[in-house]
Amino acid sequence: MNRLLIFLIPWKDLNMLLMKIITKYVYELLEKDCNLKKVSIPVDATESEPKSFIFMSEDALTNPQKLMVLIHGSGVVRAGQWARRLIINEDLDSGTQIPFIKRAVAEGYGVIVLNPNENYIEVEKPKIHVQSSSDSSDEPAEKRERKDKVSKETKKRRDFYEKYRNPQREKEMMQLYIRENGSPEEHAIYVWDHFIAQAAAENVFFVAHSYGGLAFVELMIQREADVKNKVTAVALTDSVHNVWHQEAGKTIREWMRENCCNWVSSSEPLDTSVESMLPDCPRVSAGFSCCQMQSHEDLLLCFLL
C-alpha cells in the first residue's frame, strides 16, 4: 500500500519532499557533527516577523587569528550544501560543506556558514470573504436562508472536486520576505554588518561558489574599505560574478587581482591558468571538465595550507 501511495505522489512533490528531508538532515549534521550553532536573523527580529538563520562555530566571533566564511550558490541549496545533485547521486562529502567545515575547525579557524537562499517564508493567503448580495436584498429571510444553504453546498462540492483533482490548490500560499535578507546579496551584507565585521579575527577568508561569488563582489562594492581591511583571501569556485555588470570600480578590481582566485570548470590540469575576459581575479582550472565538489575540497585543502 505504501509503495502505491509513493507512485501516486507527483514527481514534483516527491522531489520537494526529498529536498526538505536532505536540508533538515544537513542542518542536523552541522549542529551535531560540526558543532555549529544556529543563529537567528534578523538579530532584533520580533516574535511574529519572518526569520532566517546562519550557522556559526562557538569561536566565530572571538577567534583572534582566523575566520572562514562559506557561501553557497543559488537555487534550492541551503546552508551547509554545495549541490543537491551531488548529495543525491554521490555522497554528503561531495555535495555538502561538511568536509570544509571540519578541516577548517581542525586548522584552528572560526567558521560562519551563510544561508543566502533562505529569503522568505511561505504562509497561507488570508481568505477574502465576499459578502453575499442576498444579505442586502429585500427577500424574505426563509428564502434567503434556503439560497445560502444551496450556495454553501455547491461551494463544498466544488472545493472537494478541486482538492481531489489538484491537491496543491487546497491552500493558496504567499511569500513574506525576511527583513534585510530578501536576496543573497542583502543576506551577505547583513551577515557582514552584524557578525563578520564584529569578529575578532585578524584574517578573514571566504570560500564562495557560483552565485556566492556574485554576492561577495556585491558585498565588496557596498563595504569596500571594511572588506579590504579584514579579508585576507577569497577562493571562488565557478563564480558567476561580473565586475562590469556589477559596476565594480578600479580599486576593487585591483584588490581582487591580488587577493582572489576563481577555480573554474576546465579539462586542463589543476591550477592551469584559464583565459578570462574580465579584468579582475585570476581564473585557473579546477582540474575537472565539470566542476565537481570533490575538486572544491581539494582546493580548500590547498587554500588552508
Going from the C-alpha of 292 to that of each of 89, 296, 298, the distances in angstroms are 12, 7, 11
Name residue 208's beta-bridge partners.
Answer: 71, 236
Task: Name the residue type at position 51.
Answer: K
Pair 103, 300: CB distance under 8 Å: yes
Is there a catalytic annotation at residue 133?
no
Q: DSSP string of 49-98?
A: S--EEEEE-TTTTT-SSEEEEEE--SSS--TTBS-HHHHHHT-HHHHBSH
Cβ density class 232-267: b for 16+ within 10 Å, e for less: eebbbbbbebebeeeebeeebbebbeeebbbbbbbe
CB-side neighbour CA atoms (13 Å) of 113? 33
- Which long-range contacts does 30-37 make (Cβ < 8 Å, 24+ apart)? 30/55, 30/79, 30/80, 30/98, 30/101, 30/113, 31/55, 33/98, 33/102, 34/98, 34/101, 34/102, 34/105, 34/111, 35/105, 36/101, 36/111, 36/113
Cβ neighbours of residue 192 closer than 8 Å, sequence gap 6 or more? 219, 223, 226, 227
Q: C-alpha 40: how far from its chain's center?
A: 14
Q: Position of cell 562529502?
A: 93
Pair 218, 80: CB distance under 8 Å: no
| Among 52, 57, 94, 210, the one annotated catalytic | 210
The catalytic site residues sit at: 210
